[in-house]
Structure 1
Amino acid sequence: MAVALAGFIGVTGAGTAQGAIPPAPGWNLQWGDDFNGADRTPPSAANWQTDTGHGYPGGPGNWGTGEIQNYTASPDNLSLDGNGNLRITPLRDGAGNWTSARIETQRADFKAPAGGTLRIEGRIQMPNVTGDAALGYWPAFWALGSPYRGNYWNWPGTGEFDIMENVNGINSVWGVLHCGVNPGGPCNETTGLGASRACPGASCQSAFHTYRFEWDRAVTPNELRWYVDDQLFHTVRQNQMDAGTWANMTDHAGYFILLNVAIGGAFPDALGGRTPTAATVPGRSMLVDYVAVWTRGGTPPTDPPPSGSSTLYARTGAGLGDSTGSAASATLATAGGANYDGTPHTPQVFTSSGITRTYNGGATQFDLFVDAGTSVGNGQQVRVSYDRTGDGTWDRTETYEYFATDPVPGYEHYTQARGLKSATGSHGDLVNGKVRIEVWNAIGTGASTLGIGNQSVVRIPFG
């Protein structure tokens, strides 16, 4: 699902989930979601954030692709189905307006370990619609480089892996890499470097299929590989492009994963004429049984503080580290006049993994540089979460009272002195654990700025 313009890149109803995330012998599960839950409930907020509207705040319109739908968080468009699946359903109202849904992982650090391999996989049933009734349907399972989050104008340089795309109900899966510059460049933008094939056995629309992407740093040259039902159908190698392009795509904190069903836009238009049409049928859902991330071999892609250090800096690329990096900034999306006090809303997320440290009995401290410019009534908020064993469960989550910024340009200090609003769970020693910092606008109608690099610091209570 291309960000600037699309690269060329499931059954409606109950569907059949296969249960838990399947074992993958020889691989280490890093993260996953099998979408268990009651019918019409939202996907896990700990795992996913929901995109809404026609674009990111301050980003390109129509999500940069020309797609026409409005993304919502309504359970009519986005929910679990009660049968172990995520359900994304595009709908059309009486005036011809389309709605659908798009979610992305909270985590933005999925990366192949040095000398090892990353595997991102989903078992998905595309919307069960074909022919004229499918014109404009554009389901996708994909990943974007973490520096895109909060910037929205650095595509395609930071990288995009389209693991599964489909359009207009055609019995094909497309796998595409986007990189470099747009237009042209080593990835032939805006088309990208792609390949497609029919789904094995049953059609893409009539059954679940497993779509997998691998980023292999254990071979020379490094490889990117795309599979459907374990059958390899596309490969891109490091030596197909210049070193700088490859480095810009891979030498950052990692990737976040997205799932969505768009309607219309550059890719559907390219393969089916102007879409959707009056014949396009709404209400055909994409079902997702699970999404999971594994690694194999190499050194885990962690950025932990050195032994004895408890000071972490929010850094470019959504990481937390013991070194400051260069001064930079990240945009906090507007609350749009709504009240998100206590509930992260399109937050900036920073993480550090692989931390082994002893709890010292103290409390979290932080000093975040925030600025709302001339906006009146803005308030920023932070949530700090601790996963003690790195198993994906947040054992301790602390949400602090929001900080009301003044309408005078210039950074202000937001610290733990604002007070703890709520806390769940308890502290304990970190053994290969993880720390996550989420910062967002809790109130107000304008965007805010978060200073990162050497400007915002968090001190965790571990020795």
Structure 2
Amino acid sequence: MSATSGIPRRRRALLAVLSTLGLAAVLATAATQSADASAPAPPSGWTQLFLDDFNGSAGTGANTSNWQYDTGTSYPGGAANWGTGEIETMTNSTNNVSLDGNGNLRITPLRDSAGNWTSGRIETNRTDFQPPAGGKLRVEARIQMPNVTGDAGAGYWPAFWMLGAPYRGNYQNWPSVGELDIMENVQGINKVWATMHCGTDPGGPCNETTGLGNSTACPNTTCQSSFHTYTMEWDRSVTPEAIRFYVDGVNYQTVTANQMDATTWANATNHGFFVILNVAMGGAFPAAFGGGPTAATESGHPMLVDYVQVLSSSGSTTTPPPSGNHDAYSAVQAESYDSQSGTATESTSDTGGGQDLGSLANGDWALYKGVDFGSTAATQFYARVASGAASGVSGLVEVRLDSRTATPIGSFALANTGGWQSWKTVPANITSVTGTHDVYLTFTSGQPADFVNVNWFDFGH
């Protein structure tokens, strides 16, 4: 199927449907309760970053303190038909987006007498949703998909999803900035799809334009007949870092950092995200399941959203802790050294927060014990670095194995990046490495002045 590069396409082709998870152990949830169920209180250890429970008078629009409307058939200057081939025009009319007076938001596709479709698409004003260093982010919504099936549902494409913050205002950098599809559905099929998009299009480590996805039937009741809770949990407390997708508490799709090279993962995740709710009509994903809308498609079936909630759980700023056994292919926080000379830790303003390793100059070093490269050779090194060094001051960031006087297996040179908190990810080729080694970062310069800060580093194949 033809595709336009540089734009989000939440789904373009038929995914191989994997085995449905066993549902015998599915917990009963609020999914089958009344339409208006308040968002659950944050569990112990979690902080609520965002909540809209869509309480308000029937017929009023979305709260513009929380949401902005996407209107028309594209972003300004972006690809036509939202880059997906969908055919509706998005509006800010309460005919398409409104509260129902019972604690729900309705996004309703409508067909006029001339056969033209309108619908609604809103996205959070905030673009800073991401887990803290060593912590977790949970984004969830309780939703009833449009209650329409069979021929009457042809072309319906409801979704609850997220895009990387760098996309806003650019509209040309998809899929590298990352997309997390928490809930998608087409044609009124009793399935929910969850997908991560990243890398390059077509192909790449996320198999674009399909993405890394999976689907499952909704537990207990169909996706269309009842409310279900759709959740994404992004976990930076584990190695490798993981993004998990759930329906009613059942984990049916997980993507981990070691499924792709470190640069692709970093580009897709080292920034905030914003949340989107919409119902599209037509496009490539429905086309993969028979197409539509058709003359038989029924107008006016809304997606109902009871609430959208974003939670954060704080973690250690040292991830993983300084006890060895690092995964070479997940970010090793620079401040998690086992020993060092000449360095200092400080708070960082880089994405994810936490601390960085600073005051690095000629002769300084840091040791990270037990870095596991596995049996497939690593050939790349990546470091997240910043420099406010004066003009003419530069130096090398070097990687050595098992001894700080060993010959470097790779290095890169760095000068001023625009400031001591002006961060960039720099790659370097390294001599092939397998097995488990103690890794030394060493810093060499022809001047005595500090020349670099390091936030994290990792390796790739």
Shorter-chain TM-score tier: 0.5 to 0.7
Q: 1:263 aligns with which of 264, 272, 281?
A: 281
Q: Does 1:155 align with 2:160?
A: no
**C-alpha separation between the residues in 2 aligned to 1:299 and 1:75?**
45
SS at match of 1:271: coil
- Identical pairs, percent: 62
**C-alpha separation between the residues in 2 aligned to 1:142 and 1:52?**
17
Q: Mapping of 1:17-32 within 5 angstroms?
A: 17-32=36-51
* Match of residue 342 from structure 1: none
User: Quick check: 1:147–1:316 contact (8 Å CA) kept in 2?
Assistant: no
* Match of residue 288 from structure 1: 305
**C-alpha separation between the residues in 2 aligned to 1:84 and 1:205?**
18
* Match of residue 125 from structure 1: 144
* Match of residue 85 from structure 2: 66
SS at match of 1:244: helix
* Match of residue 146 from structure 1: 165
**C-alpha separation between the residues in 1 aligned to 2:176 and 2:39?**
36
* Match of residue 236 from structure 1: 255
User: Quick check: 1:144–1:161 contact (8 Å CA) kept in 2?
Assistant: yes
Q: Mapping of 1:99-110 within 5 angstroms?
A: 99-110=118-129
Q: 1:224 aligns with which of 220, 243, 257?
A: 243
SS at match of 2:35: coil
**Which AA in structure 2 matches 1:54?**
T
Q: How many residues align?
A: 297
**C-alpha separation between the residues in 2 aligned to 1:7 and 1:217?**
29
**C-alpha separation between the residues in 2 aligned to 1:232 and 1:35?**
26
State the 1:24 CA deviation.
2.8
**C-alpha separation between the residues in 2 aligned to 1:249 and 1:17?**
35
Summarize the Cα distance change of 1:278–1:145 in structure 2 as closer, same or farther, 3 Å threshold: same
Q: Which runs of 5+ in 2 are unaligned?
A: 1-6, 16-33, 318-348, 354-461
Q: Mapping of 1:269-348 within 5 angstroms?
A: 269-272=287-290, 274-298=291-315
**C-alpha separation between the residues in 1 aligned to 2:184 and 2:90?**
18
Q: Mapping of 1:389-404 within 5 angstroms?
A: none
**Which AA in structure 2 matches 1:133?**
A
State the 1:223 CA deviation.
0.3
Q: 2:66 aligns with which of 37, 43, 47?
A: 47
SS at match of 2:123: strand
Q: TM-score, normalised by structure 2?
A: 0.62
**C-alpha separation between the residues in 1 aligned to 2:206 and 2:294?**
31
SS at match of 2:215: strand
Q: Does 1:3 align with 2:21?
A: no
* Match of residue 343 from structure 1: none
Q: 1:169 aligns with which of 184, 188, 207?
A: 188
User: Quick check: 2:55–2:103 contact (8 Å CA) kept in 1?
Assistant: yes
User: Quick check: 2:42–2:311 contact (8 Å CA) kept in 1?
Assistant: no
State the 1:20 CA deviation.
4.4
**C-alpha separation between the residues in 2 aligned to 1:214 and 1:92?**
36
User: Quick check: 1:145–1:160 contact (8 Å CA) kept in 2?
Assistant: yes
User: Quick check: 1:21–1:32 contact (8 Å CA) kept in 2?
Assistant: no
**Which AA in structure 1 matches 2:286?**
P
* Match of residue 218 from structure 2: 199
1:378-420, CA deviations, whole angstroms, 9 ceiling, x for partnerless residues? xxxxxxxxxxxxxxxxxxxxxxxxxxxxxxxxxxxxxxxxxxx
Summarize the Cα distance change of 1:233–1:7 in structure 2 as closer, same or farther, 3 Å threshold: farther
User: Quick check: 2:12–2:288 contact (8 Å CA) kept in 1?
Assistant: no
State the 1:7 CA deviation.
4.6
**Which AA in structure 1 matches 2:289?**
L
* Match of residue 246 from structure 1: 265
User: Quick check: 1:48–1:103 contact (8 Å CA) kept in 2?
Assistant: yes
Q: Which runs of 5+ in 1 are unaligned?
A: 10-14, 301-314, 320-463
**C-alpha separation between the residues in 2 aligned to 1:316 and 1:230?**
32
1:96-118, CA deviations, whole angstroms, 9 ceiling, x for partnerless residues? 00000000000000001100010
SS at match of 1:120: strand
Q: Does 1:57 align with 2:62?
A: no
Q: Which runs of 4+ in 1 moved over 3 A?
A: 20-23
Q: 2:110 aligns with which of 82, 91, 95?
A: 91
Summarize the Cα distance change of 1:316–1:151 in structure 2 as closer, same or farther, 3 Å threshold: farther
**Which AA in structure 1 matches 2:281?**
I
* Match of residue 419 from structure 2: none
**Which AA in structure 2 matches 1:187?**
C
1:130-182, CA deviations, whole angstroms, 9 ceiling, x for partnerless residues? 00000000000000000000000100000000000000000000000000000
**Which AA in structure 2 matches 1:52?**
T
1:21-68, CA deviations, whole angstroms, 9 ceiling, x for partnerless residues? 444333211111101100010111110000000000100000000000
**C-alpha separation between the residues in 2 aligned to 1:290 and 1:223?**
25
**C-alpha separation between the residues in 1 aligned to 2:264 and 2:70?**
28
* Match of residue 407 from structure 1: none
State the 1:299 CA deviation.
6.2
Q: TM-score, normalised by structure 1?
A: 0.62
State the 1:94 CA deviation.
0.6
State the 1:298 CA deviation.
1.9
* Match of residue 405 from structure 1: none
SS at match of 1:184: coil
1:305-361, CA deviations, whole angstroms, 9 ceiling, x for partnerless residues? xxxxxxxxxx999x9xxxxxxxxxxxxxxxxxxxxxxxxxxxxxxxxxxxxxxxxxx
**C-alpha separation between the residues in 1 aligned to 2:237 and 2:114?**
53
User: Quick check: 1:211–1:229 contact (8 Å CA) kept in 2?
Assistant: yes
Summarize the Cα distance change of 1:177–1:7 in structure 2 as closer, same or farther, 3 Å threshold: farther
**C-alpha separation between the residues in 2 aligned to 1:49 and 1:244?**
31
